[in-house]
Amino acid sequence: MSKKKSIKDQKNLVMVFTGNGKGKTTSALGMAMRAAGQKKKVLMVQFIKDFLDYGEIKFSKRFPRDIEIYSMGKGYVGILGDKLPLSEHKKAARRALEFARKRGSSGKYFMIILDEINVALNLRLLKMDELIKFIKKLQNKVHLVLTGRDAPKKLIQVADLVTEMKEIKHPFRKGILAQEGIEF
């Protein structure tokens, strides 16, 4: 592949990883590693997730100049013992999107990943119009990667690339719980 490309060949992309299968965040992290390998800076903002012991967060601390990950959610909404009012989750989601917008406007990043943004949309923590506004503001400045199950049709229409992960078989169905180094 030729390293010389014309300006016409270059475009910041909006990419969506969705579906009920495993691998959406992992695919986004793979792209982050690829970009970092090319000496490009990546920002990942995690919606929903609030667990600071995820393997990806520990990894990013080892390479802080290349990949920054901020887990800004308040935890899983309405499940696994969640007792927070929905309004707290909504505030966290709005703060996370605003944080990503400010950072994205800085010119410092090659790529911004909004991890589990589709879940935040489906739980109505954010409005689709807020995300579309975010995309329009930043799509000419950075590559955008948006992950999470059930990507809304409107987001799929806006995206340049959409990949759907489809579950065929999952160990959870056999009662095998999430494992360190595999799921977190």
66 three-state secondary structure: coil
User: Each residue's pLDDT tens digit in the chain (184 positions)?
Assistant: 556 655 556 799 999 999 999 999 999 999 999 999 999 999 999 998 876 677 887 887 887 789 999 999 988 887 777 788 999 999 999 999 999 999 999 999 999 999 999 999 999 999 999 999 999 999 899 999 999 999 999 999 999 999 999 988 988 888 888 887 777 7
The CB density around residue 173, as the number of other CB atoms within 10 Å, is 8
- Please state, in angstroms and rounded to a whole number, the distance separating the CA atoms of residues 98 and 103: 9
Which pLDDT score is estimated for 2? 53
Angle at 128 between CA 98 and CA 44, to 5 degrees: 40
Question: Are 25 and 170 contacting, i.e. CB atoms less than 8 angstroms apart?
Answer: no
Residue 79's φ and ψ, nearest 5 degrees, are -135, 175
Domains of the chain, first to last:
10-166 (3.40.50.300)
Q: What is the pTM of this model?
A: 0.87
13 three-state secondary structure: coil
